[in-house]
Amino acid sequence: MQWDQIDKKSYNSIIQNSISSIENEKDVNIHVNGSNDYCSEKTIPTKLLQTKGPKWKASPEVLTILKACKEIYKKWQSVGKTKDHVLASELKNEKKKLRSKLRAEQALDRRKLYQQIIDNPNTQLFYRLMNRGRNNNRTTTNCLKINGEYMILPEEQRKGFAQYYEDLSIPKEEQYDCNYLNLCKIRQSCIQEALQECTPTCADDIAFISNNENELQIMLNVLSRYANEHHYTIHPMKTQIIDCSKTKSNYKWNLGGNEINTAESGVHLGIIRAEKNECQINIQERIQIARRTKYALMGSGVHGTNGLDPPTSYNIYKTYVVPRLIYGLEVLPMTKANIEQLEKFHRKNLRHIQSLPERTSNAAVLLLIEALKIETEIHKRCLSLLLSFVKLWK
């Protein structure tokens, strides 16, 4: 009883009415006790009892859906609650929306709790997290195994958690394998010394350029002598001479006593070097390699219909196909016609990824998926190459 919130006027009026209704002196005690109980119930507010458990507060969206569920249920109940009625399906859909909204809000509450623990960790949040883990409604096990012992009772589990975090908070001496640590330090120092004292050399794909036959032969002799001194072999069958002059020479070049063949084209660092039509040959080769790469990715779902979604397919295409399509083209003097060949292949692949018809405009093909033109990708490579040269110059 909350006596401080009593309605005194109502209390006095009820007492006066009960006193005036007494006719026999013997019934005074009975009337007084009954009047007190009646006045207490009518004029003194009672204190609300708090139920145990978490206080769940429904959001306005949940309350709206819940109210709609109740209204539909009342209508369905008024028509006899037949399962094949339209209201039954409507009620089912509303309940599905209600469950989805509740799960989304519960997930949001969990994320908020985890973020609070990360941003401002304290003891209260820690125990709140522990209680969530020990709650039967939120876990699939009632037993903990710590150091080979099974703990079932909540008191034992609390002691186990306390002991675990106590051991975790106490600083302990690190148990290292000193011998292995010393070996790692020695190995690291040896690698650092070798990297500092090593002589920088070029890759095995070496290119010599000369406009004189004898000068080129001298370069080959120096290369052969250097290879013999450092005990590595340059295969003469993989070495080629490309004569780009208008008047072909009959000079026979050799490497270490073995004659080198003169060819119309050769591969250097993945780029085909040829006497003529070098750009066209490289573009055709790049398109073939990119097409084979694209076909290899079709098993992963990179295709237009019944495959991955267009943004995911484009990211895979941009990661694996585009680099192979434009590899090495930043160092070649391409014409507008050469770039247009690459653009046609690129737009065809984008149409295929997005399942667009051939009559779709080129701008729409690029804008719908936020793709870049091949010419832009090549310009980015050119700028990156220029930056590398500038850094080397510094």
Instruction: Tell me how many helices (H) and strands (E) the chain has.
Output: 14, 8
Beta strand ranges found along the chain (DSSP E): 144-146, 149-151, 240-242, 254-255, 258-259, 261-263, 265-268, 271-274
- pLDDT confidence of residue 2: 56
- pLDDT confidence of residue 36: 67
pTM for this entry: 0.44
- Longest CA–CA separation in the chain, Å: 149
Angle between helices 28-43 and 8-20 in degrees, nearest 10 = 150
Q: How many CB atoms lie within 10 A of CB 65?
A: 21
- pLDDT tens, per residue, the chain with 394 residues: 555 666 777 777 777 777 666 666 656 666 666 666 666 666 666 655 555 555 667 788 888 998 999 999 999 999 888 888 898 999 999 999 999 998 998 888 888 877 887 777 777 776 776 676 555 554 445 777 777 788 888 788 888 878 877 777 777 776 667 888 888 888 888 887 776 665 444 455 777 887 788 888 888 888 888 888 877 777 777 788 888 777 777 888 888 778 887 877 778 777 888 778 888 888 889 899 988 888 888 877 777 677 788 888 888 888 888 998 988 888 888 889 989 999 999 998 888 888 888 888 888 888 888 888 889 998 998 998 888 888 876 5
| Torsion 296-301-307-309 (CA) sign | negative
Question: What is the spatial distance between Cα 65 and Cα 182, in angstroms, rounded to a whole number?
Answer: 67
Task: Fill in the DSSP letter of residue 265.
Answer: E
Phi, psi of 133 (to 5 degrees): -75, -30
Give per-residue pLDDT as tens, 198-216.
544 445 577 788 778 888 8
Coil, strand or helix at 388: helix
Buried b (16+ CB within 10 A) or exposed e, 193-221: eeeeeeeeeeeeeeeeeeeeeeebbeebe
Question: What is the spatial distance between Cα 59 and Cα 47, in angstroms, rounded to a whole number?
Answer: 27
- pLDDT confidence of residue 30: 63
Beta pairing class for 149-151 and 144-146: antiparallel
Q: How many CB atoms lie within 10 A of CB 317?
A: 24
Question: What is the spatial distance between Cα 203 and Cα 194, in angstroms, rounded to a whole number?
Answer: 18
- pLDDT confidence of residue 93: 92
Question: What is the spatial distance between Cα 56 and Cα 190, in angstroms, rounded to a whole number?
Answer: 64
CA neighbor of 222 nearest in space, from 255, 245, 190, 198: 255
Task: Fill in the DSSP letter of residue 247.
Answer: S
Question: What is the spatial distance between Cα 262 and Cα 250, in angstroms, rounded to a whole number?
Answer: 10
Tokens 């009646």, residue located = 38
All residues at 6 or more sequence positions from 152 whose CB lies less than 8 Å from its CB, including other chains: 142, 143
Give per-residue pLDDT as tens, 340-362.
999 999 998 888 888 888 888 88
- pLDDT confidence of residue 95: 92
Question: What is the spatial distance between Cα 354 and Cα 370, in angstroms, rounded to a whole number?
Answer: 12
Question: What is the spatial distance between Cα 367 and Cα 354, in angstroms, rounded to a whole number?
Answer: 12
All residues at 6 or more sequence positions from 21 whose CB lies less than 8 Å from its CB, including other chains: 31
- pLDDT confidence of residue 199: 47
Please tell me the chain's helix, strand, coil percentages from 3-state DSSP, rounded to the nearest 5: 60, 5, 30
Q: H-helix or E-strand containing 118?
A: helix 86-119
Give per-residue pLDDT as tens, 78-116.
988 888 889 899 999 999 999 999 899 888 888 887 788
CA neighbor of 113 nearest in space, from 127, 125, 103: 125
- Distances in whole angstroms, Cα of residue 155 to Cα of each of 143, 159, 169: 12, 6, 21
CA 26 to chain centre: 87
Question: What is the spatial distance between Cα 70 and Cα 241, in angstroms, rounded to a whole number?
Answer: 88
